[in-house]
Structure 1
Amino acid sequence: MFATAVILGVLAVLLAGPVPIWLSAAAWPARSPAVALVLWQSIALAGGLSMIGSLLSFGLIPFGVNLFDGIRSLGGHLVAGTLPDEPSFVAVLMLCSAMILGSHLLLNLAATFSRAERQHRRHRHLIGLLSQPLADHSGTRVIEHDAPVAYCLPGATRSATVLSRGLLQLLDAEQLRAVIAHEHAHLIQKHHLVLLAFKSWHSALPWFPIANRAENAVALLVEMLADDQARRVVDDRTLATAIALVGSAHQVDPLGTDVELADGPDHPFDLVTPRVRRLISPPPPLPAEAVLAVAASAATLLLLPTLLLLLG
């Protein structure tokens, strides 16, 4: 159990610092954003599991030789109202820390998704009152606002792509097709769920600099994934021009809502310049062997703490 706790602790430190720093500074994710996104998700999940698992393993050392024995023994002591012969203050502290951290992360995740759903519901109601459908584009609504605004509004049963009148006046027909295809990709690929998960991680650990780095990196990756979908509809230069035109304009939320958008005006991270550069000078995709290596790394990151906890 001690060896398991130490290994998980080392893995948690690596996934909390060096690995995310290296990945956020790497150039290859722009070549295969889907694979990079999978790796980011595995880092977040494995990092959280390793942190909690390390604390739990340390705390259960006085109670058993492995995780299952320790939990069973701890449960028996709790029911009987007894403690082991030599209970360690450090062990009790580790157990409490594991339960507090795990509960905090799960409750924050639930609260983030619940709050977002309430905001989306209110936003959809306002959009229904203040917008008009765009002809020949099902599920697309137009709001009367001078600033160029484009975003998607997800929903369990009803989603919408929202454009402003200023955007329609700014872009030509092909550029508008590119923007609509980009926003539809966000909805189809459920990018809001990925963004909410990383936003929850960041809000749960606001003092944790890697959480902010991960949220920014993932936000850029989902934008690149949506760009790749839009590239199937229009050429790269048209899409790059549309992104630059919309991104360079000062955008505001015309409804005054608190909905978090990946490419919204208040995002402190530059989500425009890297995408435009990527479209103007497209990098070659990762070779198949590199994609397999990254996928294997992601799977290993998830399996390693799980197996250590089950077998340690």
Structure 2
Amino acid sequence: MLLWQGVALAAVLAALGAGLSVVTGPVGWPDLVALVLTALVLGRLLLSGHLVGTDLRALRRRHREQLDLLARADARAPGRTAVLEHDVPVAYCVPGRRVERVVVSAGTLDRLSPAEVSAVLQHERAHLRARHDLVLEAFSVLHHAFPRWVSSAAALSEVRLLVEVLADRAATRCSDRRALGQALLTLAEGRAGGPDFALGAAAVESSLLVRVRLLGDRGPHRLQAVVLVALAVGVLVLPTAFVVWPWLRTY
């Protein structure tokens, strides 16, 4: 996740800084073109951020209002968990800055064991604690800010998978791994990951096997972590240095 964030931030800094870096002397037509392109990139990012953020918050606010009308509490789902009367097993969370919801269906409570229910709730609460929605929102903004031939759907897809893996690992610190794995398989059978603007335990169905396999990986992988952190820093620092270098040489 850190590496993907480093790549994304480096791309934004490079796109904004490249145009500014050519302006090292008297401003000519090439410099004006570069500045216009830089302003266009910045404008697209700001507009995309406004549209994506506004739409997401409106959808989540409306959904929370509907949950307040339709959902109920259930002793099998401890904590502030909203339970919907639906036979299809589903579990998801609706993030928010002040008001948030963890949602499960009655079908989930009927088909999962108490240990599996607990693991699923821990997974959803991990999303809310870590504010994974903000990470996904940032990548969604970048994806919608640029044309298809520039933006990459692979980055957004990979980040969606990674936030689920991070929530899985957070859940296993308090719950049984096998219980979580079995719960994910049961939820996937229902083929309902929750609304698009929410974070559901089985939302990334195509990568479910990867997630279940990673649940059995308990190794610390310290060397891999060090290498990935180094790559993330390098990806961020090197392009920035190339952009700043012309300014340093001039001044």
CA deviation vs aligned residue, 1:76-120 (integer Å, no higher than 9, x gap): xxxxxxxx5xx33x4332221111011101221232122211111
Partner Cα distance (1:295, 1:138) in 2: 36
Q: 1:258/1:290 Cα in 2 relative to 1: closer, same or farther (>3 Å)?
A: closer
Partner Cα distance (1:276, 1:258) in 2: 22
Partner Cα distance (1:252, 1:226) in 2: 15
Q: 1:149/1:262 Cα in 2 relative to 1: closer, same or farther (>3 Å)?
A: closer
Q: Which residue of 1 aligns with 2:238?
A: 304
Equivalent pair of 2:184/2:202 in contact (CA under 8 Å): no
Equivalent pair of 1:140/1:162 in contact (CA under 8 Å): yes
- State the Cα distance separating 1:306 from its structure 2 match: 3.6
1:100 aligns with 2:40: yes
Equivalent pair of 1:112/1:196 in contact (CA under 8 Å): yes
Partner Cα distance (1:272, 1:252) in 2: 12
Equivalent pair of 2:119/2:175 in contact (CA under 8 Å): yes
Q: Which residue of 1 aligns with 2:6?
A: 42
Q: Which residue of 2 aligns with 1:230?
A: 171
User: Is the partner of 1:141 in helix, strand or coil?
Assistant: strand
Q: Which residue of 1 aligns with 2:57?
A: 117
- State the Cα distance separating 1:245 from its structure 2 match: 0.9
The counterpart of 2:146, out of the listed 183, 205, 209, is: 205
Equivalent pair of 1:152/1:160 in contact (CA under 8 Å): yes
Partner Cα distance (2:147, 2:244) in 1: 31
Structure 2: 5+ residue runs without aligned partners?
A: 247-251
1:132 aligns with 2:96: no
Specify the code of the residue in structure 1 equivalent to 2:217. P
User: Is the partner of 1:270 in helix, strand or coil?
Assistant: helix
- State the Cα distance separating 1:170 from its structure 2 match: 1.4
Specify the code of the residue in structure 1 equivalent to 2:62. R
- State the Cα distance separating 1:311 from its structure 2 match: 4.5
Q: Which has the larger radius of gyration?
A: 1
Q: Which residue of 2 aligns with 1:290?
A: 224
Partner Cα distance (2:199, 2:128) in 1: 12
Range that drifts further, 101-110 or 219-228: 101-110
Q: Which residue of 2 aligns with 1:152?
A: 93
The counterpart of 1:188, out of the listed 106, 129, 154, is: 129
The counterpart of 1:162, out of the listed 103, 120, 139, is: 103
Q: Output the aligned Cα RMSD.
A: 2.3
Equivalent pair of 1:167/1:246 in contact (CA under 8 Å): yes
Q: How many residues align?
A: 245
- State the Cα distance separating 1:61 from its structure 2 match: 4.6
Specify the code of the residue in structure 2 equivalent to 1:297. L
Specify the code of the residue in structure 2 equivalent to 1:286. H
Q: Which residue of 2 aligns with 1:5?
A: none
- State the Cα distance separating 1:295 from its structure 2 match: 1.5
CA deviation vs aligned residue, 1:226-271 (integer Å, no higher than 9, x gap): 1001112222221111111101222175xxx662546676x6x723
Q: Which residue of 2 aligns with 1:57?
A: 21
Equivalent pair of 1:43/1:301 in contact (CA under 8 Å): yes
Partner Cα distance (1:101, 1:196) in 2: 18
Equivalent pair of 1:263/1:271 in contact (CA under 8 Å): no
Equivalent pair of 1:182/1:230 in contact (CA under 8 Å): yes
- Relative to the length of structure 2, the TM-score reads 0.88
- Relative to the length of structure 1, the TM-score reads 0.72
Equivalent pair of 1:205/1:211 in contact (CA under 8 Å): no
State how 1:191-270 maps to structure 2 within 5 Å. 191-208=132-149, 211-251=152-192, 253=194, 259-261=197-199, 270=206
Equivalent pair of 2:87/2:105 in contact (CA under 8 Å): yes
Specify the code of the residue in structure 1 equivalent to 2:226. L
Specify the code of the residue in structure 1 equivalent to 2:135. V
